[in-house]
């Protein structure tokens, strides 16, 4: 029994027939569309066959355990195995200007509003995993940020997967509406603490209103056997500035789609990402930046590392729609291949239907620079330390701009796990 | 302490050095001069151990150790330091991290314990003041966005932290204004001691007004064609290289 | 530039220069494609049995293949049964022995195109093979080439005279079932050029083929095979034109290049098939498979193309870098104006050690033209120390056109170094203004800027081709800025 059959067999029971029927329809739509295969251009380099051959079971929540970022000062919302974990969350003490509703709660108390909330995710051309998420989501958060709300601390959403024995399926989703002129940072941490090959199908949609400054940090820190499919949709409003970081640090098969629409003049977006594909890891990012309005700008930098027999994939598409003017878009995909068995596939794309613009992209794939390594060696730095340092420097260049040191540290920790030499070096704060 | 005997080296099958002999004793400063393409930088690189060169004949011994058999970082551990003509920019790696890795790498090579974070920072602070490097530069990625003068100053700063017994300066003076040149020279002069030696590779004698050499050698077409004292450098400045290099051809 | 609008309007309405039709008696097969047509083509050309069998195998495969749909171009369904697969000038049945035997109307046609068929006019020393519709009508300078052992003849002749070479290399670079159009070509190819450069020989002159589609409702399916034996060098030029018609015509050629140890092939194309009119009526569908095989050590294959014509261009001249130290190059200028569409680029497949490739692509989009660069750089696990540098630039002239870039980069060896850069921008108003303020006419200013943009590619073309390419470019872009 594979993925879809096991989900159909274990479909979330619901007391409300209307909601049940809605989910059935969504599930049937996903089934009819069928699991993506490498024959589709968007899945050319990523094969879900092995992951989809397993049977997964949704889980009841179990008590929250420690997760990374436990020391970070933030407003927390914690989900375990797709269920809201009230005990470890700050739901009751959210700051003024932040309102949170939960899908699980709505489904019990107000099914009509639950359906309305689910419908909001539906798009005529929705991707398979977006549809599957809305069909199978047990819980999720709908967050409204009031106009002019400025948060002192980030909102931290933790999605943790725990299982002692069975492969778990979880499909959490989040919708965020950032009000006009609001300034908020959201951290979305996906964390696995299990050796069981679980499957996470996460969906987040964020829209910003006029003048909002919104930062989204997506951290994928799944357990070594996990499959993680993450979708992030960003709608950038007028004069709004959005920053997105995707830090994909672990997981067996990680696929993250970031679809960003710039829908009103003055909007800007920075899409940044770091991925580390170590041994037995496959990390695939697909980003799409759609310039639908004039006077919009985008910049994108992705840094990928493939080591061991790991494989990293990057596909970044910039679209400039007909009739738009004064567009600026840049994109860079830089990749390090650290071992003979690693692979990088990168495809930076431009699709341009207007002329008053400046667009550029670049991609590089290579190994650490010999000359630079020699320079370090002449200073007495041993070759292995030098390599670790340069690997760290490669991502640090981008990560150093994140204003939340705890996130920067997560990246460093992950690299240090692979490079013991780095671990020693990074102890003590020399920043 | 440094003994180079009949050194022949080539790159991609093309001979660059054709029988270099050079002996440097503790406390001495040797200047290596010569026209472009004479092999000056190659000699500096060979002492430091840059990959890509093939030594076809001869040897380099440092304190009776076969330097050519050692990795670049082992040579640094032995006390050799090369100040690069074009210091490398390393995005994302800040100066302090690199120096800490260097100091600890060298200490480990010498069988010493790694230096503690506080002790290390104190050392760095002291040296920073001496060289007049701003904290701002110290905490930036190695050489990235540095001006030419800042890069050279950073090389001298690293040298003063690592305190090598043999410092090799590869055209450290090129592209420097007179103030920056003085800073570089001060850094070197401060390190001069009876135990320490320097090999100063330069195209112009200007630097030698500030770092006064004990010996001056002229390199041409991969060989030392003339050796002398300080006066040789002055003569070269007055008469150019042709009169010495003509003999080599 | 409103003041200049009448002038621009006039330029816009200027006709496609090569759009005349030559009224020659044609020997044409009835429309439709089936096994009998394949047999008919083969028998018309007096082919040996092995050639017919090869064609029939390809036809069988083609029948089973689906028409590809992945490119970034749009066109109505092609009815492969409505096309005629063979058309030849009648007087030419047995092939001309000398220029005197060639139909004078044909010579007139080539004269209009400025093609130097008559040897005395060939100051530059270019040997020419001319393919009119489906058959080769004339190959010049044959004797001089033969003295060096160089074989340069029509494909039909090669099948008859050099079967051992044809059998050895045909389909060895582009297999029959490589893609839909390659399979179709393999079944019904009519003629084309064949080149063999013997060991350690530098071909004494540039070799050139001019292709011309004349007849109506015919498809043109040429086959070109160039073999550079050990230590040899050849520069090969290819030009294409077609008359102006309201119907679309299909051109599905296959070009195979083979470079053995230390051999070099330089292949240059100036493609000026009829592009259709301003509204997109008519024009050639140019669906071509071109691939070079750097089979030997230190071999080099260099593609240069200037694509100004065709309603739709769909081609990826590629290099398979098998030999150690082999080098692949691709230099391309592709222009789309009015309703033209182009999806073109290259594939560099690195298999051998120390293989290097360079890709320079310049796309120019004007009017409602759509121009896509699509490229693949693949570094296989076996390709130690492989290097690739890619630069793709797009220039936009007008706000209704499109410029697209789809580079695929696949690296499976960590000693490789791959760099890709791309940019897209509008033709610079500042530059145009600067030039015009110096007294340069607006269209000349555009030409200057565009030529500057394409310089890196033009300098790869042989001199006489470079001049032609620049002329074509300015003709194609007339009225593009207004």
Mutate one of C405, C416, C417, C432 to test the A interface: name it (highest A CB count within 10 A).
C405
State yes or no: pLDDT of C363 exceeds 80.
yes
Minimal-distance CA residue of chain A relative to C407: A347
Q: How far is A171 from chain B (nearest CA, A)?
A: 36
Q: Which chain C residues are within 8 Å of A357, Cβ to Cβ? A: 396, 424-426
Contact status of B96 with chain A (Cβ, < 8 Å):
yes
Residues C374 and C366: beta-carbon distance below 8 Å = no
Of residues B71, B97, B141, nearest to A425 (C-beta)? B97
For range C373-381, the mean pLDDT: 96
Contact status of B127 with chain A (Cβ, < 8 Å):
no
Rounded to 10 deg, the angle between the A370-378 and A383-399 helix axes is: 120
Query: What's the CA gap between C45 and C161, in Å, rounded?
Result: 13
Tell me which residues of chain C, numbers 45 to 104, contact chain A at a CB-CB cutoff of 8 Å: 70
Residues A103 and A140: beta-carbon distance below 8 Å = yes
Minimal-distance CA residue of chain C relative to A311: C412
Query: What's the CA gap between C298 and A87, in Å, rounded?
Result: 69
Contact A355 C412 (CB under 8 A): no
C416 within a domain of the structure (yes/no): yes
Q: How confident is the model at residue C5 (pLDDT cuts 50, 70, 90)?
A: very low
Residues C322 and C295: beta-carbon distance below 8 Å = yes
Residues forming a β-bridge with C402: C370
Contact A371 B88 (CB under 8 A): yes
Tell me which residues of chain C, numbers 361 to 420, contact chain A at a CB-CB cutoff of 8 Å: 379, 381, 394, 396-420
Burial class (CB in 10 A: 0-12, 13-18, 19+), B45: buried
Range of the domain at B33: 2-248
For chain C, the straight-line distance linking the first and the last C-alpha, in angstroms and rounded, comes to 6
Contact status of C426 with chain A (Cβ, < 8 Å):
yes
Q: How far is B199 from chain A (nearest CA, A)?
A: 15
Of residues C408, C416, C419, nearest to A347 (C-beta)? C408
Task: Return the DSSP state at C104.
Answer: H
Query: What's the CA gap between C365 and C335, in Å, rounded?
Result: 6
Of residues A323, A353, A357, nearest to C426 (C-beta)? A357
Query: What's the CA gap between C45 and B22, in Å, rounded?
Result: 79
Contact B92 A374 (CB under 8 A): no
Question: Mind listing the pLDDT tens digit for each residue in A365-389?
Answer: 999 999 999 999 999 999 989 999 9
Query: What's the CA gap between C126 and A99, in Å, rounded?
Result: 79
Judging by DSSP bridges, how do beta strands A140-145 and A98-102 pair with one another? antiparallel
Query: What's the CA gap between A398 and B4, in Å, rounded?
Result: 45
Flag whether A touches C (3+ CB pairs, 8 A cutoff): yes
Chain-centroid distance of CA A80 in Å reads 17
Q: In b/e form, how buried is each residue of C233-270, taking b as 16+ CB within 10 angstroms?
A: bbbbbbbbbbbbbeebbbbbbbbbbbbbbbbbbbbbbb
Mutate one of A303, A305, A332, A378 to test the B interface: name it (highest B CB count within 10 A).
A378
Cite the DSSP H helix spans in C305-426.
Answer: none
- Three-class HEC string of B182-197: HHHHHHHHHHCCCCCE
Q: How confident is the model at residue A418 (pLDDT cuts 50, 70, 90)?
A: confident
Which of A288, A351, A420, A407 lies closest to C405 in space, CA to CA?
A351
Query: What's the CA gap between B81 and B198, in Å, rounded?
Result: 9
Contact A363 C414 (CB under 8 A): no
Contact A354 C406 (CB under 8 A): no
State yes or no: pLDDT of C350 exceeds 60.
yes
Residues C110 and C118: beta-carbon distance below 8 Å = no
Residue C318 phi, psi dihedral angles, 5° rounding:
-125, 165
Range of the domain at C264: 29-427
Contact status of A424 with chain B (Cβ, < 8 Å):
yes
Residue C409 vs residue C240, higher pLDDT:
C409
Tell me which residues of chain B, numbers 45 to 64, contact chain A at a CB-CB cutoff of 8 Å: 48-51
Give the start-end residues of each E strand in chain B. 2-11, 14-24, 29-33, 54-62, 65-66, 80-83, 166-170, 197-201, 215-220, 223-228
Contact C397 A355 (CB under 8 A): yes
Query: What's the CA gap between B49 and B72, in Å, rounded?
Result: 5
Q: Which chain A residues are within 8 Å of C421, Cβ to Cβ? A: 360-362
| Strand (E) or helix (H) holding C318 | strand C318-321
State yes or no: pLDDT of C322 exceeds 50.
yes
Contact A383 B73 (CB under 8 A): yes
Q: Which chain C residues are within 8 Å of A356, Cβ to Cβ? A: 399, 426
- Three-class HEC string of A211-271: CCEEEEEEEEECCCCCEEEEEEEEEECCCCEEEEEEEEEECCEEEEEEEEEECCCCCEEEE
Residues forming a β-bridge with A284: A255, A313
Give me the pLDDT at residue C19, please. Answer: 59
Q: How confident is the model at residue C7 (pLDDT cuts 50, 70, 90)?
A: very low
Give me the pLDDT at residue C92, please. Answer: 45
Q: In the numeric block, which tokens belong to residue C336?
A: 């789309």
State yes or no: pLDDT of C112 exceeds 90.
no
C150 within a domain of the structure (yes/no): yes
Minimal-distance CA residue of chain A relative to C370: A353
Residues B47 and A378: beta-carbon distance below 8 Å = no
Q: Which chain B residues are within 8 Å of A393, Cβ to Cβ? A: 90-93, 141
Helix (H/G/I), strand (E/B), else coil: C449: helix
Q: Which residues contact C61 (CB under 8 A, 6 or more apart)?
A: C176, C177, C183
Count how many domains chain C has.
1
Of residues C402, C416, C423, nearest to A365 (C-beta)? C416
Angle, alpha carbons C393-C397-C398 (nearest 5°): 135
Q: Which chain B residues are within 8 Å of A430, Cβ to Cβ? A: 94, 96-97, 100, 117, 121, 139
Minimal-distance CA residue of chain B relative to A385: B101
Helix (H), strand (E) counts: chain C: 11, 23
Which of A355, A354, A347, A310 lies closest to A331 in space, CA to CA?
A347
C355 within a domain of the structure (yes/no): yes
Question: Mind listing the pLDDT tens digit for each residue in B27-70?
Answer: 999 999 988 889 999 999 999 988 889 999 999 999 999 999 99
Query: What's the CA gap between C394 and A352, in Å, rounded?
Result: 10
C131 within a domain of the structure (yes/no): yes
Residues C383 and C356: beta-carbon distance below 8 Å = no
Q: What is the mean pLDDT of chain C?
A: 82
Q: How confident is the model at residue C105 (pLDDT cuts 50, 70, 90)?
A: low
Residues C326 and C297: beta-carbon distance below 8 Å = yes
Question: Mind listing the pLDDT tens digit for each residue in A273-318?
Answer: 999 999 999 999 999 999 999 999 999 999 999 999 999 999 999 9
Give me the pLDDT at residue C192, please. Answer: 85
C51 within a domain of the structure (yes/no): yes
Minimal-distance CA residue of chain A relative to B46: A378
Residues A411 and A189: beta-carbon distance below 8 Å = no
- Half-sphere exposure for C46 (CA within 13 Å, toward CB): 8
Judging by DSSP bridges, how do beta strands C402-411 and A343-352 pair with one another? antiparallel
Count how many domains chain B has.
1
Q: How confident is the model at residue C115 (pLDDT cuts 50, 70, 90)?
A: low
**Between A and C, how many CB-CB pairs are < 8 A?**
110
% residues pLDDT > 90 (chain C): 44
DSSP A327-353: EEEEEEEEEEE-STT-EEEEEEEEEE-
Burial class (CB in 10 A: 0-12, 13-18, 19+), B106: buried
Contact A347 C417 (CB under 8 A): no
State yes or no: pLDDT of C131 exceeds 70.
no
Q: Which stretch, A414-423, B66-75, C79-88, has highest mean pLDDT?
A: B66-75
Tell me which residues of chain A, numbers 377 to 406, contact chain B at a CB-CB cutoff of 8 Å: 377-383, 385-386, 389-390, 392-398, 400
**Domain containing B123 — which CATH number?**
3.40.50.300
C3 within a domain of the structure (yes/no): no
Minimal-distance CA residue of chain A relative to B95: A430
Name subunits touching C (3+ CB pairs < 8 A).
Answer: A
Minimal-distance CA residue of chain A relative to B82: A378
Angle, alpha carbons A412-A416-A420 (nearest 5°): 155
Flag whether B touches C (3+ CB pairs, 8 A cutoff): no
Query: What's the CA gap between A91 and A254, in Å, rounded?
Result: 29
Question: Mind listing the pLDDT tens digit for each residue in C52-102?
Answer: 999 999 999 999 999 888 878 888 888 888 878 877 765 544 444 555 555
Contact A394 B90 (CB under 8 A): no
Q: In the numeric block, which tokens belong to residue B37?
A: 């393409």
Query: What's the CA gap between B154 and B176, in Å, rounded?
Result: 13
State yes or no: pLDDT of C474 exceeds 90.
no
Burial class (CB in 10 A: 0-12, 13-18, 19+), A272: buried
Q: In the numeric block, which tokens belong to residue C177?
A: 């079932």
Q: What is the mean pLDDT of chain A?
A: 92
Q: How confident is the model at residue B177 (pLDDT cuts 50, 70, 90)?
A: confident
Domain range summary for chain A, segments of one domain joined by +:
3-264, 374-431
Contact C417 A357 (CB under 8 A): no
Residue C100 Cα distances to A18, C23, C94, angstroms? 87, 19, 14
Give me the pLDDT at residue C49, please. Answer: 94
DSSP C254-281: EEEEEE-TT-EEEEEEEEE-----TT--
Residues C403 and C371: beta-carbon distance below 8 Å = yes
């Amino acid at each position: 029994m594979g993925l879809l059959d096991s989900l159909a067999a274990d479909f979330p029971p619901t007391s409300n027939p209307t909601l049940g029927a809605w989910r059935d329809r969504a599930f049937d739509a996903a089934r009819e569309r069928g699991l993506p295969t490498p024959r589709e251009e968007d899945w050319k380099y990523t094969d879900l066959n092995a992951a989809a051959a397993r049977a997964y079971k949704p889980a009841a929540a179990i008590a929250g355990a420690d997760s990374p970022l436990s020391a970070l000062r933030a407003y927390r919302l914690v989900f375990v195995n797709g269920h809201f974990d009230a005990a470890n969350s700050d739901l009751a003490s959210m700051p003024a200007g932040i309102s949170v509703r939960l899908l699980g709660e709505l489904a019990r108390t107000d099914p009509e509003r639950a359906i309305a909330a689910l419908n909001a995710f539906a798009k005529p051309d929705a991707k398979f995993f977006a549809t599957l998420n809305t069909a199978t989501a047990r819980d999720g958060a709908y967050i409204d940020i009031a106009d002019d709300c400025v948060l002192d601390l980030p909102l931290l959403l933790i999605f943790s997967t725990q299982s002692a024995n069975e492969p778990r399926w979880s499909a959490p989703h989040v919708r965020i509406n950032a009000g006009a002129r609001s300034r908020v940072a959201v951290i979305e941490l996906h964390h696995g603490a299990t050796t069981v090959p679980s499957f996470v199908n996460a969906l987040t949609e964020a829209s910003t209103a006029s003048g909002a400054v919104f930062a989204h940090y997506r951290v994928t820190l799944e357990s070594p056997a996990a499959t993680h499919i993450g979708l992030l949709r960003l709608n950038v409003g007028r004069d709004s500035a959005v920053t997105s970081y995707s830090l994909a640090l672990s997981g067996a098969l990680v696929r993250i789609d970031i679809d960003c629409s710039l829908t009103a003049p003055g909007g800007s977006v920075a899409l940044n990402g770091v991925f580390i594909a170590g041994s037995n890891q496959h990390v695939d990012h697909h980003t799409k930046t759609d310039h639908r309005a004039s006077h919009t700008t985008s910049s994108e930098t992705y840094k990928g590392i493939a080591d061991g027999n790991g494989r990293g994939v990057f596909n970044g598409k910039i679209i400039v729609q007909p009739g738009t003017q004064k567009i600026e878009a840049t994109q860079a995909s830089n990749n390090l291949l650290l071992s003979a068995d690693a692979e990088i596939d990168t495809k930076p794309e431009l699709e341009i239907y207007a002329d008053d613009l400046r667009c550029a992209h670049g991609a590089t794939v290579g190994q650490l620079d010999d000359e630079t390594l020699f320079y370090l060696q002449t200073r007495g730095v041993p070759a292995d330390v030098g390599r670790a340092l340069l690997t760290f420097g490669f991502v640090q260049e981008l990560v150093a701009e994140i204003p939340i040191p705890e996130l920067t540290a997560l990246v460093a920790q992950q690299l240090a796990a692979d490079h013991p030499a780095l671990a020693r070096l990074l102890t003590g704060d020399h920043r | 302490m440094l003994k180079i005997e009949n050194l022949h080296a080539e790159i991609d099958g093309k001979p660059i050095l054709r029988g270099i002999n050079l002996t440097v004793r503790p406390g001495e400063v040797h200047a290596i001069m010569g026209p472009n393409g004479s092999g000056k930088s190659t000699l500096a690189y060979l002492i430091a151990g840059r990959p890509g060169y093939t030594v076809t004949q001869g040897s380099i011994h440092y304190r009776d150790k076969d330097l050519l058999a050692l990795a670049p970082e082992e040579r640094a551990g032995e006390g050799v330091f090369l100040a690069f003509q074009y210091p490398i920019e390393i995005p994302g790696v800040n100066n302090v991290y690199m120096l800490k890795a260097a100091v600890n790498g060298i200490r480990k090579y010498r069988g010493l314990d790694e230096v503690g974070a506080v002790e290390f920072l104190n050392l760095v602070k002291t040296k920073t003041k001496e060289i007049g490097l701003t904290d701002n530069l110290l905490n930036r990625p190695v050489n990235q966005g540095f001006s030419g003068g800042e890069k050279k100053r950073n090389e001298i700063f690293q040298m003063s932290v690592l305190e090598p017994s043999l410092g090799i300066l590869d055209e450290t003076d090129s592209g420097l204004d007179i103030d920056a040149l003085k800073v570089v020279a001060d850094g070197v002069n401060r390190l001069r001691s009876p135990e320490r030696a320097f090999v100063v590779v330069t195209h112009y004698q200007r630097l030698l007004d500030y770092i006064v050499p004990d010996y001056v050698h002229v390199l041409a077409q991969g060989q030392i064609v003339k050796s002398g004292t300080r006066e040789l450098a002055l003569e070269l400045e007055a008469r150019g290289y042709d009169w010495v290099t003509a003999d080599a051809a | 530039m409103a003041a200049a609008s009448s002038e621009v309007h006039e330029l816009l309405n200027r006709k496609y220069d090569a759009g005349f039709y030559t009224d020659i008696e044609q020997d044409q097969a009835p429309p439709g494609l089936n096994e009998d047509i394949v047999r008919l083509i083969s028998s018309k050309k007096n082919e040996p049995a092995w050639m017919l069998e090869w064609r029939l195998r390809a036809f069988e495969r083609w029948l089973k293949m689906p028409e590809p749909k992945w490119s970034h171009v749009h066109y109505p369904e092609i009815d492969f049964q409505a096309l005629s697969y063979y058309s030849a000038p009648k007087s030419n049945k047995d092939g001309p022995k000398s220029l005197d035997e060639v139909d004078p109307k044909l010579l007139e046609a080539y004269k209009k195109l400025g093609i130097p068929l008559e040897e005395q006019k060939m100051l530059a020393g270019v040997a020419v093979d001319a393919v009119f519709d489906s058959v080769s009508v004339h190959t010049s300078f044959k004797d001089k080439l033969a003295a060096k052992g160089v074989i340069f003849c029509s494909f039909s002749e090669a099948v008859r005279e050099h079967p051992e070479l044809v059998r050895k290399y045909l389909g060895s670079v582009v297999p029959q079932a490589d893609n839909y159009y390659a399979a179709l070509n393999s079944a019904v190819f009519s003629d084309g050029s064949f080149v063999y450069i013997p060991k350690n020989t530098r071909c004494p002159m540039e070799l050139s083929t001019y292709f011309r589609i004349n007849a109506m409702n015919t498809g043109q399916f040429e086959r070109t095979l160039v073999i550079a034996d050990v230590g040899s060098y050849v520069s090969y030029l290819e030009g294409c034109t077609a008359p102006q018609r309201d119907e679309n015509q299909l051109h599905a050629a296959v070009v195979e290049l083979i470079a053995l140890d230390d051999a070099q092939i330089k292949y240059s194309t100036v493609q000026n098939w009829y592009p259709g009119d301003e509204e997109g009526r008519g024009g050639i569908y140019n669906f071509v498979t071109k691939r070079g095989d750097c089979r030997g050590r230190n071999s080099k294959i260099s593609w240069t193309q200037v694509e100004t014509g065709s309603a739709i261009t769909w081609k990826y001249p590629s290099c398979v870098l098998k030999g150690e130290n082999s080098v692949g190059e691709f230099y391309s200028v592709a222009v789309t104006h009015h309703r033209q569409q182009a999806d073109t680029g290259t594939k560099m497949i690195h298999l051998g050690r120390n293989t290097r490739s360079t890709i320079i692509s310049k796309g120019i989009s004007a009017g409602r033209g759509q121009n896509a660069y699509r490229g693949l750089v693949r570094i296989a696990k076996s390709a130690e120390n492989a290097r690739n540098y890619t630069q793709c630039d797009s220039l936009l002239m007008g706000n209704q056109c499109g410029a697209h870039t789809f580079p695929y980069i696949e690296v499976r060896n960590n000693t490789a170094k791959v760099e890709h850069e791309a940019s897209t921008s509008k033709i610079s108003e500042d530059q145009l203004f600067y030039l015009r303020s110096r007294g340069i006419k607006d269209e000349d200013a555009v030409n200057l800027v565009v030529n500057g943009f394409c310089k890196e590619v033009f300098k790869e073309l042989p001199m006489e081709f470079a001049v032609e390419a620049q002329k074509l470019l300015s003709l194609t872009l007339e009225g593009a800025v207004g």
